[in-house]
A and B are shown apart, each in its own frame.
Chain A
């Protein structure tokens, strides 16, 4: 899967779980400020990503993940 296809898939998960318009899902977007997503919603998003990408993300790996870009990097590092 190339990077663009992976981000499209990531984006559709984020739109579905966070209920925000697709254009707000940018690499720079911050979960708390830009997307109004609290920690439980980030967990829910990660669960959706695990399912969509067939990966496993440990809770400890989410420490410091504050932006879409950081979360995307975490996902792609496991592909």
Chain B
């Protein structure tokens, strides 16, 4: 066991709604294919697969993504026979129900306050996704929402794992969702010059010029490992540890030299009881913004030396789905372990000459033995890092 005496956390189900695919197979195939062209919306998402018409009308798109991904993850996990009082929901989002808010502000301006929907508050609140999941499945343990911008999905998974490690929960549905591509969201991100003007996501490329905004959701079912194995669950991976730190530096720019990211990765490895030598692969935040990718690369080089473990950023395909991104990438890590393949970084044609990383380009690369690190960094200076490993890793002889 990586950390003696601590309960272990198995990933037993995953579900995903992404612009490159809905469902695990379509998603992973999409990650290994060329990036979608045009707006990175989930064009073929049909809420009627998960909601009746009335439920769908009352649920903002981010909540629909939350519930859809959670349902897929729970279906994937099979028969999770958990005491509902020991079953939790920890979900992340960046901004909650932005589309609904925009629509209803239009109603307010055009028709007056008496026409504003009585469902506005329960639709836009950031915790609507987590609440809807707990109600749908009757899970009555802790049900909370993490709001740390683009780090929210990663923090949610880390916090969910702690609920199992600490003994409070036996199972937790975790993940994140975002649907912020309303006009107001697009304008706001565009005017802060965060978005790519070329319209191409190119993580770690010398020509990268900003991120491609996306939407989506992803969920993971986490269970205490022994209980999962007892019921014969399929275990994708183990969440060995996590960490959360703040830059305390600037509201949007990363700390110089990636110092906050570095501290977070170091803490996560320590929490997992592993060393840098154990890390086989880093699923990077890699947004394709000039500042993020440089800071993250500097942090990785300081931690691992060069070239270090194999790095990829799936945002070359998925774009940046903000509060959902970390959850989508955690699902990617589980599938990377399951399939033994690391998806490439789409859009990366020429590595920034200031970086000395081993980034996967072109075709997927086989996953070597070892643990995976998944990074997320959010506006506000929030850093999150997960350590995810094949189930055999922590059980192997080298650990005590």
Contact = CB atoms under 8 A, between A and B. Distances in A.
Interface of A: 18-19, 40, 43-44, 47, 50-51, 56
B115 A19 contact: no
A46 to B, nearest CB: 9
B117 A50 contact: no
A19 B54 contact: yes
**Dominant secondary structure at the A interface:** helix
Interface string B109-130: 0010011011100000000000
Given A40-B119, A44-B119, A50 B114 contact: yes
B115 A44 contact: no
B397 interface: no
> Interface range on chain B: under 10, 10 to 19, 20 to 34, or 35 or more?
10 to 19
B57 A19 contact: yes
A51 B114 CA distance: 10
Interface string B57-94: 10000000000000000000000000000000000000
Contact of B53 (A19, A40, A50): A19
B54 A47 contact: no
Given A19-B54, A19-B57, A47 B119 contact: no
B119 A51 contact: no
A47 B115 CA distance: 6
B44 interface: no
Nearest to A40: B118
B52 interface: yes
Nearest to B121: A40
Given A47-B114, A47-B117, A56-B114, 16 more contacts: A18-B54, A19-B52, A19-B53, A19-B54, A19-B57, A40-B118, A40-B119, A43-B118, A44-B117, A44-B118, A44-B119, A47-B115, A47-B118, A50-B114, A51-B111, A51-B115
Nearest to A50: B114
A25 B376 CA distance: 51
Contacts of A18: 54
Contacts of B115: 47, 51
Contacts of B114: 47, 50, 56
A23 to B, nearest CB: 17
Nearest to B115: A47
Contacts of B118: 40, 43-44, 47
7 contacts: A18-B54, A44-B117, A44-B118, A47-B115, A47-B118, A51-B115, A56-B114
